[in-house]
Amino acid sequence: MLQPSGVEWTDPECPVARTADLVGDKWTLLIIRDSLDGKRRFSEFERSLGVAKNILSDRLRLLVDRGVLSRIPNDRGTRSEYELTSAGRELFILILSLRQWGERNAFGADERHSILITAATGEPVPRLRPLGEDGKELLPEETVLLKVSHSSK
């Protein structure tokens, strides 16, 4: 479980808000995307993202502190590489969801974009859809948020 110190929660009882507090920054999400794509070295992230070194250093440090990445020595022991932790690998679903939303909503009909495919088949990854217990797609209006109740003390 991610329990970073020093994080001020936007909404302490909301999982969406806490996740945004932990990984909601643009550069952070793109580092996670690149990590899922196999990048491990500072120089690889820097080349891919074109981000300033100080921002990249800060975001990598935060991701390590927050338990999303771990720092490991490289083969030669000269520099660290970054590897997704199990919590970091779980963010694949978030990144995939953002990708699929972007494919549908952030590009014009004639604009080209990258496509994530399944390695075994070469086919595009199927669209994510939440399913109810009956196997049918679960729509937002079919859900209810149960908030934490506060008892007065």
Fold of 15-142: Arc Repressor Mutant, subunit A (1.10.10)
Provide the percentage of residues in the chain whose pLDDT is more than 70.
95
Provide the percentage of residues in the chain whose pLDDT is more than 90.
84
Q: How many CA atoms lie within 13 A of 107 on its CB side?
A: 14
117: its two tokens? 């495919």
Is the pLDDT reported for residue 141 higher than 90? yes
Span 17-44, mean pLDDT? 96
96: its two tokens? 């995939």
